[in-house]
């Protein structure tokens, strides 16, 4: 374990949220007609389409919050149905993990960025444009899912759920139509063979097998970091200025990387 202290702690302290630039939407978003072309669905009620792309920060008499609520439920049902038939032998616990990975904020925000849907969002969130830019850059390191290592602009995930909710209402609540519209848009879907273990869970499981004690040292209020000790030895560090949970995840990931690095050096 002493050798772990000599490892260079890297990758866990990169806080991409340090930018303080306030970038507002300075030009009007493009026409929502383009959205229909992107998703391959023509709305009977253009009002629903407008509502889906209206953020509460705009201060209008309506916003996409109600459609987001609908879309969240519909999306969970869609994946529940799809995975029930795709994996007839999987237990409910694994199915739940698989569904959760496909409907969480990280995965949905990627859909918005991949299809440029965020360009159409009406909002007055000063930091959103910069957050989207940072998110778009960071996810290049994690092509499928970051498992809690990247800060996600929640407005992007909410937007995708709102669009799903709008289509669901517009097509008279047809699950089949909604799935037909969004099946390809939601790709790449996380499947059983690509489902990753959360870094904190993975760290605890690995140490439990070796009878090692894991401790997370909370330094977040002092310097936005968490340290990881294994059997009282320092093995990793993670940082995030805005979200404590991400700092913990990054610390666990850094500790795992150091373990793997040390194991590789021993094998060589």
Q: Final residue of a domain: which of 194, 221, 250?
A: 194
Provide the CB-side half-sphere exposure for 267 (13 A, CA). Answer: 6
Looking at residue 260, what is its pLDDT? 78
Same domain, 128 and 225: no
Same domain, 138 and 70: yes
| CATH code, domain with 40 | 1.10.1520.10
Same domain, 170 and 227: no
Same domain, 187 and 205: no
Looking at residue 26, what is its pLDDT? 57
Looking at residue 29, what is its pLDDT? 79
Instruction: Give the count of domains, the chain.
Output: 2
Structure confidence by residue, pLDDT tens digits, 83-102:
999 999 999 999 999 999 99
Looking at residue 25, what is its pLDDT? 53
What's the Cα-to-Cα distance from 148 to each of 34, 198, 214, 265, rounded to whole Å? 32, 8, 19, 28
Is the distance from CB of 216 to CB of 227 less than 8 angstroms?
yes
Structural domain boundaries, residue 211: 199-267
Q: What is this structure's pTM?
A: 0.83
Q: Final residue of a domain: which of 194, 215, 244?
A: 194
Q: Please list the ranges in the chain whose pLDDT falls under 70.
A: 1-26, 263-268
Looking at residue 1, what is its pLDDT? 53
Same domain, 36 and 169: yes
Which residue from 244, 127, 114 is spatially nearest to 188, judged by alpha carbons? 114
Same domain, 51 and 106: yes
Looking at residue 44, what is its pLDDT? 97
């Amino acid at each position: 374990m002493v050798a772990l202290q000599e490892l260079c702690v890297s990758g866990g302290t990169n806080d991409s949220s340090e930018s303080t630039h306030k970038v507002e939407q300075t030009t009007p978003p493009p026409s929502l007609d383009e959205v229909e072309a992107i998703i391959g669905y023509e709305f009977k009620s253009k009002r629903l389409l407008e509502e889906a792309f209206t953020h509460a920060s705009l201060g209008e008499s309506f916003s996409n919050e109600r459609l987001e609520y609908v879309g969240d439920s519909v999306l969970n049902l869609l994946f529940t149905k799809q995975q029930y038939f795709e994996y007839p032998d999987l237990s409910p616990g694994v199915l739940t993990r698989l569904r959760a990975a496909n409907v969480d904020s990280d995965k949905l925000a990627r859909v918005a960025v991949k299809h440029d849907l965020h360009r159409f969002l009406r909002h007055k969130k000063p930091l959103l444009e910069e957050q989207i830019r940072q998110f778009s850059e960071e996810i290049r390191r994690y092509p499928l899912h970051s498992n809690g290592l990247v800060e996600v602009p929640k407005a992007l995930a909410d937007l995708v759920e709102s669009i799903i909710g709008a289509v669901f209402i517009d097509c008279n609540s047809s699950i089949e139509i909604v799935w037909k519209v969004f099946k390809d848009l939601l790709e790449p879907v996380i499947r059983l063979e690509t489902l990753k273990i959360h870094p904190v869970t993975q760290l605890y499981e690995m140490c439990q097998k070796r009878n090692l004690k894991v401790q997370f040292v909370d330094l977040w209020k002092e310097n936005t970091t968490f340290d990881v000790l294994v059997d009282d030895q320092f093995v990793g560090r993670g940082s995030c200025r805005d979200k404590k949970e991400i700092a913990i995840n990054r610390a666990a990931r850094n500790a795992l990387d150091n373990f793997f690095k040390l194991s590789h050096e021993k094998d060589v």
